[in-house]
Amino acid sequence: MAASCIPEFLLYSGSQCSNGGALMSRNMRHHWLLLGACGWMLLILMFASKFINYRSADDYGENSNAHSWTEPGTKVVKSTPISIQDRATSKPSDLPSVLPSVADWQNVVEKRIELLSSVCKNDSLRNLTHVSISKFVLDRIFVCDKHKILFCQTPKVGNTQWKKVLIVLNGVFPTVEEIPENLVHDHEKNGLPRLSSLTLSEITERLKTYFKFLIVRDPFERLISAFKDKFVKNPRFEPWYKHDIAPAIIRKYRKSHRDDNNDDASSGMRFEDFVRYLGDWEGRRRMDRQFGEHVIHWVTYAELCAPCQIGYNVVGHHETLEQDAPHILRAAGIDGLVSYPAIPPGITHYNRTKVEHYFTGISRRDIGRLYACYRGDFHLFGYPAPNFLFN
Give the angle 126-289-198 at the CA atoms, nearest 5°: 75
| Statement to judge: residues 159 and 89 lie in one domain | yes
Residue 173 lies in a domain: yes
Q: Are 378 and 370 in contact (CB under 8 A)?
A: no
Residue 122 lies in a domain: yes
| Statement to judge: residues 157 and 42 lie in one domain | no
| Statement to judge: residues 31 and 106 lie in one domain | no
Distance in angstroms (rounded) separating the CA atoms of residues 63 and 234: 9
For the packed helices 20-49 and 8-18, what is the interaxial angle rounded to 10 degrees? 60
Residue 143 lies in a domain: yes
User: Closest Cα partner for 87 from 390, 387, 359, 388?
Assistant: 387
| Statement to judge: residues 114 and 222 lie in one domain | yes
Domain boundary among the residues 49, 70, 87 is at: 49
| Statement to judge: residues 21 and 83 lie in one domain | no
| Statement to judge: residues 34 and 81 lie in one domain | no
Counted domains in the chain: 2
| Statement to judge: residues 22 and 120 lie in one domain | no
Residue 55 lies in a domain: no
Residue 102 lies in a domain: yes
| Statement to judge: residues 149 and 93 lie in one domain | yes
| Statement to judge: residues 42 and 104 lie in one domain | no
Q: Are 357 and 227 in contact (CB under 8 A)?
A: no
| Statement to judge: residues 259 and 361 lie in one domain | yes
Each residue's pLDDT tens digit in the chain (391 positions)?
Answer: 444 343 333 333 343 334 444 444 555 555 556 666 655 565 554 444 333 333 334 444 444 333 334 444 433 333 334 443 444 344 444 555 456 788 889 999 999 999 999 999 999 999 999 999 999 999 999 999 999 999 999 999 988 999 999 999 998 888 999 998 888 888 778 889 999 999 999 999 999 999 999 999 999 999 999 999 889 877 567 788 888 899 999 999 997 655 444 444 445 889 999 999 999 988 898 888 888 888 999 999 999 999 999 999 999 999 999 999 999 999 999 999 999 998 988 889 999 999 999 999 999 999 999 999 999 999 999 999 999 999 7
| Statement to judge: residues 179 and 229 lie in one domain | yes
User: Closest Cα partner for 194 from 183, 206, 182?
Assistant: 206
Distance in angstroms (rounded) separating the CA atoms of residues 258 and 189: 45
Residue 159 lies in a domain: yes
The distance of Cα 329 from the centroid of its chain, to the nearest Å, equals: 21
Catalogue the E-assigned strands of 51-200: 141-144, 149-152
Distance in angstroms (rounded) separating the CA atoms of residues 150 and 207: 8
Residue 12 lies in a domain: yes
Q: What is the pLDDT of residue 221?
A: 97
Q: What is the pLDDT of residue 190?
A: 83
Burial 3-42 (b: 16+ CB within 10 A, else e): eeeeeeeeeeeeeeeeeeeeeeeeeeeeeeeeeeeeeeee
Give the domain extent around 177.
Answer: 61-390
The distance of Cα 226 from the centroid of its chain, to the nearest Å, equals: 7
| Statement to judge: residues 331 and 380 lie in one domain | yes
DSSP H stretches of helix in 50-158 = 84-89, 102-120, 126-129, 135-140
Distance in angstroms (rounded) separating the CA atoms of residues 168 and 183: 12
| Residues 6+ away with beta carbon under 8 Å from 196 | 135, 138, 139, 141, 203
DSSP assigned state of 238 = -
What's the number of CA atoms in the CB half-sphere (13 Å) around residue 231? 30
Strand-pair partners of 150: 143, 212
Residue 54 lies in a domain: no
